[in-house]
Every structure is written in structure tokens, then in C-alpha cells.
Amino acid sequence: MTGLYIVIGVVVILAILLFGTYNSLVRLRNQTKNAWAQIDVQLKRRHDLIPNLVETAKGYMKHERETLEAVTNARNMAQQMSGSSVGERGKVEGELSSALSRLLAVVENYPDLKANQNFLALQEELSSTENKVSFSRQFYNDSILRYNNKTQMFPSNVIANMTGFKAGEFFEVSVAAEREAPKVSFS
Amino acid sequence: MLGMGLLLLALGYILGLYFLYSPTAGLIIALMIWAVLNFIALFQGDNIMLSMAKAKKISRDDSPRLYNIVEEMKIASGLENMPAIYVIDDPAPNAFATGRNPEKAAVAVTTGLLQKLNRDELQGVIGHEISHVKNRDVLLMTMCSILLGTIVMLSWYASRMLFFSSMTGGRRRSSSGGGGSAQLIILAVGIVLMILAPILAQLIYFTISRKREYLADASSAQYTRYPEGLASALEKISASTTQLKAANKATAPMYIINPFRKKGRAASDLSSTHPPISERIRILRSMAGGASFADYDNAYRKTRLTSKGVVSPSALATSGTVAVRDAEPQRTDESQYKIEQSREISDLLWRQNNYRTINCECGTKFRLPPKFKATTVRCPHCGIINKVT
């Protein structure tokens, strides 16, 4: 009889471990989804702020047409790719970031623009949104790290494979252009 | 905290054994006193602390910069809800956080802090306060102080009872009659505990407080990815000699640095709630290669020349490698920036006192006192009549 009890006990313990691991996989995956949604909110906010910024700057920076156009184009491209995968969005958002930083570097030459209250408020909002994008990105990457660890390390990877949990993608904002120094023309 | 709990239980046990001949009764009474004090203290709420400091709540429009910084730290730390933000009108730079659980938290900064720090430094300070909220430090310190209070109270009452019973000329005789020497031993242990327990509990309390401060520094470095921000903020704050008006001994541990540090108390005292600032700065600055918990732990051990770290093993295990980010681009016109900052802060204070502002088209800003009754205002620079909204 005791043999039977032992077997039942082992089965019960295994079942508990199974449920526990499955639940923690679900919880971690939901955390990554939540973290991604937060990034999405911040990225969308950035897309919405940029047209305003370009309009305000246009009046003062009449000779910087290409820089302003580059920002607008990059922003439109990023907005179009709103529904794509994590890796693709990383690329377009990175290009938008570099276009923006070129624009902000050029703004330093226009003291009138810098004294405009509207522009200052917009710039603060924008740089804060950039910060929030990078903070939510690091939070997302941390949660992806925890989730990937759980899906790939033994013994939870057994359960993950059985129930179809796949590893997630890191959100890398790859900016190839960041390496070059911004070219500021003093024309 | 476990040590303090054990002290409380030991005290209850011994006192119960001596006075009531039943250690379990002593334990139960000690726990009951603790529960009652808990109940009273935990439900008093954060409002008392905030109103003692004369803190005024601000909204997003009042100070977008401060609101944005708090929101950034909320995202970086993973807090669910945005904490309430308060501003204290005081030229001494300091900040604190309050809130029993992360959902209902509040962060307060002084106008002196807003004035003196740049964006990176302010972010470091707010990150430190938010991590107090996230790590439930407020709850921990409140419960520890309740434990401390219970221990002190028990010892005090026990000493009174002992005093009385010896004054009335004799101890109660034990029922069995043969436990005379056992009674003496219990009495001796009881007296020792009564004297030592409050002292030990205080030491433990201060050690816990200091350790949580280090942990908050580490968390802030990880959230902001920029430990130099907090380091230079601490430098600026400690260099200021203005005394914070609203702090008193009860609320001092909650502030980012000890508001009473100049009052003749050595900062490296065992009875200090905050670690010495120079050490905190040195640890933050010697974080080489990264901004994660592991880097802070290494820097801590190197600076303090000790092998005992300050971050818990579970936190060390889940912290990956974290690269330090670049500093915020500095404004080239430093003096103009300071002027703008002061203007922003004084605007905030005017608004707090119910002054309304109207912007004229020519760029002039009107500030109307609360009792202003007229419906239109004529601009003295351009002559345009503006409507009062």
C-alpha cells in the first residue's frame, strides 16, 4: 500500500511542478507583452510629437530644408511600420532617432528658435519621450531575458516546448548612422 | 528585521516567564501590543508626513520637466501606477518618498532641489526615491520602527514592574517553592534583556535603514543607467548648508540625505540612519563598466573593504549586464538655463498660491492675483486687450 501512496505522491508533486512552470511561463510572456505595449505607447507619442516640432522649427530654419524633410520622412516610415515585428521596428525607429538628433544638433545654431517657448516645451516633451522609449525598451528587454531564460533553460524548456512557448525577440534600436558625427553646416 | 522580531519574542518570553509564570502568555501579550501599534501606525497614512512638510501636490502642467522625470523613472522601474508628485517650498535641497505599497505612492522634492540640479542629477534622485517605493522600504522601515517601539515599551513597563515589586519588599513566592535559583536566573536574564533589547533593536534599526539606502542607490544606478548623475546630485546636496525647515527627528530617515547631518552628529555614527555621503558618492563613482546591481555590489565591496555585499543574491542573479549611457547633452548657455529653471520654479509656486497667468501675443506674461475681478487686461507693452479666462 505504501508503494501506491508514494507513486500518488510523486504524481501529485510532478503535477504541481508542471502547473507551476506553465503558469510562470504564461506570466512572463504576459509581462513581455505588457512591456511591448508600453514601448508602443511611447513610440506612438513620439510619432505624434514630431510634426508639431517640424512645423515650429520650419518658420525659423528656412535653410535647413533637407534636415527637416529627413525627419518627416523617417517619421512617416516609422509610423507605417507600426504593425510590424520587433526587429523591423527597431530599424526604422533607430533611423528616426538619428534623424531627430541631427535636427536637434542643427537647432543649436538658431538662438531665436531656442528662445521660443513653444519649441522649448516641445523639445522637452520630445527628449522626455526619447528617454521613455529607451527606458521602456530596457524594461522590455529585461522581461524578454527572463522569459527566454525560462523557455530555454532546463527543466522548464521541456514544458515550454510541449505547450508552444517560443523565445521572444529583443528590441534593438540599431542605428548604423549613429557612429558618424552629425554634419553641421555653418552656411 | 528578523533579528528585531526575535528580540521581541525573547523579551516577551522571558518577561512572561518571570512575571506571569507562563512564557506563552508573555509571548501573546508582546505580539498583541505589537499588533495594536501596527494597526494604529500603518493606517495613519502618508498624508501626515506630507502635510508636516507642507508639501503641495502638482499636476503635469505645473512642472512638465519634473513630471516627465518621474514618469521616466516609473517606466524604468516597472511601477504600475504613477506616484503622486509633491513640491515643498524650501531652499534646502532634499527629497523623500512615502507610500506603503507601490500602487499608492508619493514623491516629494524641495524647490531648492529643483533649482540646483540638472536633469541627469534630478533623474538620479528621483530614481533613488522611486526605488524606495518599489522595494517597499517605507513599509519595511515603518514596521521596523513599530517593532522597535514595542520592544522599548515592553522593556520600560517590565522595568517599572520590577522596580515596584522589589520596592514592595519581596518577590512573589513561586508555587513550587523549590525554584529559587531558577527564578534568580530568569530574573538576571530578564534584566539583561530589558537593558540590552532596546539598544540592540535600535542598532538593528539603523543598520537596516543604512542598508536600504545603499540598495536604493544601487537601484537608482540601474534604472537611470547613469550612476554619475546621482553621485553629482549627492555632492551638490551635501555641499548645501541650508537647514531643511520642516524635518524633525521622526521624519529624518525618509529623506534622501540626513537633514540633520550638521548638528554635531558624526555621519559614520552607528546611530545614523543614512550612510556617510562621501562613501555613497565614492561607491557610485567607482562603478566600473556597468550600471547593474552586480557592478554596484562590486564597487561597494571595494570601497568598504569588506567581503559582504549589500545586494541580495536573488537580485544579483537576475540583473544582466547594464551599460552606462551617455550624459544628457549640456546646454551651452549655462546662465540662461539657470534663469529659465528659476523662472519655472517660481511659476510653479505662483500657481500653487492660485495666481493665474495669461500670455499676451507679444510674449508678455501676466500674473493675476487670486482676487483679480476684472474681465479684461490691457497689455502694457503692446496695448492689446486680453480677456481674462
Q: What one-character-per-residue DSSP string does B263-284 give?
A: SS--TT-TT-SS--HHHHHHHH
Cα separation, B286 vs B295, in Å, equals 9
Is A132 close to B75, i.e. CB distance below 8 A? yes
* Interface residue A45 vs chain B (CB under 8 A): no
Q: What residue of B is the nearest CA neighbor of A126?
A: B68
Is B325 close to A134, i.e. CB distance below 8 A? yes
Q: Chain A, 1-40: which have a CB under 8 Å from a chain B CB? A: 38
* Interface residue A134 vs chain B (CB under 8 A): yes
- The pLDDT value recorded for residue B180 is 64
Is B75 close to A125, i.e. CB distance below 8 A? no
Instruction: Compute φ and ψ for B175, nearest 5 degrees.
Output: -65, -35
Q: Tens place of pLDDT for every residue, chain B, 389 residues?
A: 777 777 777 777 777 777 777 677 777 887 888 888 777 766 665 666 677 677 788 888 778 889 999 999 998 888 888 999 998 888 888 888 887 778 888 898 988 888 888 888 999 999 999 988 888 887 888 788 778 888 888 787 777 777 776 665 555 554 444 456 777 777 777 788 788 888 888 888 888 888 888 888 988 988 888 888 899 998 888 887 666 666 655 556 667 766 666 554 444 455 577 888 888 888 888 887 777 888 888 888 888 777 777 777 666 666 666 677 777 666 556 676 677 778 778 877 887 777 887 878 777 778 888 888 888 888 888 888 888 77
Distance from CA of B145 to the nearest CA of A (A): 34
Contacts of A139 in chain B (CB under 8 A): 75-76, 78
Q: What is the DSSP letter of B327?
A: P
* Interface residue B17 vs chain A (CB under 8 A): no
Distance from CA of B64 to the nearest CA of A (A): 8
Q: What residue of B is the nearest CA neighbor of A117?
A: B363
Distance from CA of B174 to the nearest CA of A (A): 51
Is B76 close to A139, i.e. CB distance below 8 A? yes
Distance from CA of A132 to the nearest CA of B (A): 5
Q: Hey, of B66, B72, B126, B293, which one would you mutate to test binding to chain A, going by the most A CBs within 10 A of its CB?
A: B72
- The pLDDT value recorded for residue A10 is 93
**B78 torsion bin: left (phi>0), alpha (psi -120 to 50), beta (else):** left
* Interface residue B342 vs chain A (CB under 8 A): no
- Residue ranges of chain A with per-residue pLDDT less than 50: 176-181, 183, 185
| Residues of B annotated as catalytic (active site), given as ranges | 129
Is A128 close to B72, i.e. CB distance below 8 A? yes
- The pLDDT value recorded for residue B175 is 46
- The pLDDT value recorded for residue B250 is 55
Calculate helix-pair angle for B23-42, B2-20, nearest 10 degrees.
130
* Interface residue B225 vs chain A (CB under 8 A): yes
* Interface residue A118 vs chain B (CB under 8 A): no
Contacts of A128 in chain B (CB under 8 A): 64-65, 68-69, 71-72
Domains of chain A: 2-138+154-165 (1.20.1440.20)
The C-alpha angle with vertex A142 and arms to A136 and A147, in degrees rounded to 5, equals: 125
C-alpha cell at B276: 556617510
Q: What residue of A is the nearest CA neighbor of B325?
A: A134
Is A128 close to B332, i.e. CB distance below 8 A? no
Which amino acid is present at A93?
A: E
Q: What residue of B is the nearest CA neighbor of A137?
A: B76
Which of A38, A131, A145 minimises the CB distance to B320?
A: A145
Contacts of A127 in chain B (CB under 8 A): 328
C-alpha cell at A67: 534636415
- The pLDDT value recorded for residue B264 is 47
Closest CA to B137 of B88, B182, B96, B84: B96
Distances (CA, A) of B199 to A71, B5, B41, B203: 65, 14, 22, 6
The residues that bridge with B57 in the sheet, in sequence order, are B86
* Interface residue B324 vs chain A (CB under 8 A): no
- The pLDDT value recorded for residue B63 is 83
Q: What residue of A is the nearest CA neighbor of B63?
A: A121
